[in-house]
Chains A and B, each alone.
Chain A
Amino acid sequence: MSEVSKVSITIPSSSEFVGVVRLALSGIATRMNFSIEEIEDIKIAISEACTNAVQHAYPNSTGTIEITALIHEDKLEIEVHDTGTGFHTNVLGSPEQKEKSEKKLGLGLGLTFIKNLMDEAHVQSEPGKGTTIRMAKRRPTDVLS
């Protein structure tokens, strides 16, 4: 079985640190020989996941966001986890969610962007327990040995 390298970053749930995560993941993706376009896709997907946590996870308190990158032979897997308010996943894409997003001047397209830009995307959330967004981008086939 091939080895999986793990890189973990924990940031305060604050907007100024989203760029730090983007930069770190961009570095990892570059080392994995992803193309410039694929690296841009990964940067947007990770930012959307972190932005979601910053905006919604800790409305009345402070908290942290844990980002884990798993470097597989054939893909980059990323997990963004918070222990904030969480939500019922059946509200995703609902008018209620769209309205909530528009109040924050958003488009409500964060998850859509993640799903469109990555090869895998999955949201797990439970009210009161937090949210985990997992996503993955397959490694370019021409760099696999």
Chain B
Amino acid sequence: METMGNPFSIIIDKDHLSPTVRIQGEVDIHTCPELNQQLNILISEGHKTLILNLEKVHYIDSTGLGIIAHAARNIQSDNGKLVLISSKPQIKKLIDMSGLKDKNISLFETESSALESLVS
């Protein structure tokens, strides 16, 4: 899917115990249905922990964060959790503002630190 010159893509890496969803581009009202669909597929496959790497996301708003919150709610009943990766101040600011970290969602700056936390 393309948003006027800003390519949006989702790559799913299943090399680790928990799948890593690498998102690139802008996550907004136009692109978030695709993200929602991919997360729903992973949840229906029985994955309880999902890693969402947002390092290459250069824009996200409340619609994108809503999809993340919805996925987190869906896996909560199975004691699942959602791990976000981003070191970008703007994304951190929005995550703080939205109160997402109060739920079963955590935020790490790097994929390696997130993976370490999952095995410890």
Which residues of A are in contact with B by a Cβ distance under 8 Å?
A: 15-16, 18-20, 22-23, 37, 40, 43-44, 47-48, 51, 54-55, 101, 104-107, 109-110, 112-113, 116
Contacts and interface: CB of A to CB of B under 8 A. Distances in A.
Contacts of A54: 29
Interface of B: 3-4, 6, 26, 28-30, 32, 36, 59, 61-63, 65-67, 69-70, 89-90, 94, 97-98
B89 to A, nearest CB: 7
Contact of A51 (B28, B69, B70, B90): B28
A47 B61 contact: yes
Contacts, number: 66
Contacts of A44: 59, 61, 94
Contacts of A22: 28, 59
A110 B29 CA distance: 12
A19 B61 contact: no
Among B4, B6, B98, chain A packs the most CB atoms within 10 A around the CB of B4
Given A48-B61, A48-B62, A16 B98 contact: no
Q: Chain B binding site: helix, strand, loop or mixed by DSSP?
A: helix
A112 B65 CA distance: 14
B97 A19 contact: no
Contacts of B70: 105
A51 B97 contact: no
A113 B90 CA distance: 12
Contacts of A55: 29
Nearest to B36: A105
A20 B4 CA distance: 7
A107 B89 CA distance: 20
Contact of B30 (A19, A23, A40, A106): A19
Contacts of B26: 19
Given A55-B29, A109-B98, A116-B97, A23 B62 contact: no
Given A22-B59, A54-B29, A55-B29, A16 B3 contact: yes
Given A37-B90, A40-B90, A44-B94, A105 B67 contact: yes
Contact of A18 (B29, B36, B66, B97): B29
A19 B62 contact: no
